[in-house]
Amino acid sequence: MKILHLIDSLDAGDSTRQLQLLGPALASGTALQVCCLGPDTPCSAELRQAGIGVHALGWTRWFDPRAAWKLHKLLREAVPEVIHVWNLTALRALAVVAPGLLPRVVMSAVLPTADKLAWWDRRLLERVRCQTPAGVVLSEPERRARDCAPRSALGLGPTRIACVGRLEREYGFRQAIWAFDFLLLLYPDAELHLVGTGAQESALQALTHGLRSASSVRFLGDLTDVAPVVQDADIVWVPSLANRGQQVALEAMALGKAVVASDVACLREVMRDGETGLLIPPGDVVALARRTYALLEDQPLRERIGQAACQHVQQQFSLKAAVEQWRDVYSSIAA
């Protein structure tokens, strides 16, 4: 079976993390390729090392004729039986270049509610043969790493909080920096580690300088493996302002981390407030700081939530089950 994964960018976003985990497992027995509309990234290299063909088109603006031609050529040469599209941006590009292939598409994305979708996106989604919610998977190496304690718990370093995602407005990193500024009053040696890149990176760095927290907020850029950063953290934040961050939350939970996340639909689906994580109103800086402080001051509570989160993920989400489900979906479309 010939499968093409089409994604807008290979970065620290949820879709990339899922593709990194799913891709190598799905590649066995299939001719699998990945097409990224954006440039090459470290994630591209990791997928290539796993034996997956990756095509980076370098799409630079709203409509890029050269990149569109590259996509058209790739589709003509690859002749995919199934096209796994990871977001609306990629779906729009496919619709422009090869609208006749839309019936071969399986859509995997957290979408806005119907009333917030533009009319052209609704029309495109009507033509897609199969739509599925964003997949969630758990890798075995990360599961084995869950028993490692963070450095601060061993007395080897300062309190650390981790955030992973695109540095874009909807991921809530600005609110995270404000909340962290409150916590610095109580934990002067604390560190906030931000993984990812995006359009707001310069503005966020300027904010840390304005708050005089630049030395405590570390911008780590895009990393192919975020597990060490998450594992080294005492608490993981997922402060999304929209339906984002599900994959990051699940990976942190799999590592036995206490997660403080926004109460948005995709996170509410995988976390039970007070049991497997803590949920706060989206954008509520005070609530984020307050609930984090409660966890930092109560180590038994932090450990109890982390253990419950790990058990929940083990029971409900597994790489093997996700791969089998996707293979069934692909087979139904290719038939």
- SS3 of 257-271: the string is CEEEEECCHHHHCCC
Beta bridge partners of 235: 161, 258
User: What 3-state DSSP class applies to 164?
Assistant: strand
Distance CA 244, CA 268 (A): 11
Same fold for the domain at 2-137+318-334 and the one at 140-316?
yes
β-strand partners of 193: 162, 218
Angle, alpha carbons 318-319-322 (nearest 5°): 90
Q: What are the tokens at 235? A: 């608490």
**Sheet-wide strand order for 82-85:** 53-56, 31-36, 2-7, 82-85, 105-108, 130-132
Please, what is the end-to-end C-alpha distance for the chain in angstroms? Answer: 10
Query: Is residue 8 a contact partner of residue 87, using CB atoms and an 8 Å limit?
Result: yes
- 140-316, which class in CATH? alpha beta
Pick the closest to residue 92 from 30, 200, 7 (CA basis): 7
d(CA 181, CA 293): 12
Total length of the chain: 335
CA angle 262, 265, 269 (to 5 degrees): 95
Task: State whether the Cα torsion 29-227-208-266 is positive or negative.
Answer: positive
Look at residues 73, 80, 91 and name the one whose alpha carbon lies nearest to residue 34: 80
pLDDT of residue 15: 84
Give dist(CA 284, CA 288) in Å, integer.
6
Instruction: Provide the 10 A C-beta neighbour count for residue 306.
Output: 24
**335 residues of the chain, pLDDT tens digit each:** 899 999 998 887 778 888 888 888 888 778 899 999 999 888 888 889 888 999 999 987 778 889 999 999 999 999 999 999 998 899 999 999 999 999 999 988 777 666 778 888 888 888 887 776 655 555 444 444 444 445 455 455 689 999 999 999 999 999 999 999 999 999 999 999 999 999 999 999 999 999 999 999 999 998 878 889 999 999 999 999 988 898 899 999 999 999 999 999 889 988 999 999 999 999 999 999 999 999 999 999 999 999 999 999 888 887 887 888 888 888 888 87
Looking at residue 244, its pLDDT comes to 86
Q: Cα–Cα distance between 137 and 143 in angstroms, integer?
A: 11
10 Å Cβ neighbour count for 203?
A: 12
82 to each of 15, 31, 262, how far by Cα in Å? 18, 11, 34
Return the domain boundaries, the chain: 2-137+318-334, 140-316
With beta carbons less than 8 A apart as the criterion, state whether 102 and 94 touch. yes
- What pLDDT is stored for residue 182 in this prediction? 95
Residue reference for tokens 């920096």: 177
Amino acid at position 40, single letter: D
Sheet of strand 258-262: strand arrangement: 217-221, 191-195, 160-164, 235-238, 258-262, 278-280
CA distance 290 to 292: 5
CB 38 within 8 A of CB 10: yes
Angle at CA 263, nearest 5°, toward 126 and 229? Answer: 100
**For the CA atoms of 228, 231, 237, 240, what is the dihedral angle to 10 degrees?**
50
How many other CB atoms sit within 10 Å of the CB of residue 328? 9
CATH fold label, 2-137+318-334:
Rossmann fold (3.40.50)
Q: Which residues pair with 301 in a beta bridge?
A: none
Residue type at 13 in one-letter notation: G
Measured CA to CA, the distance from residue 259 to residue 225 in angstroms comes to 19
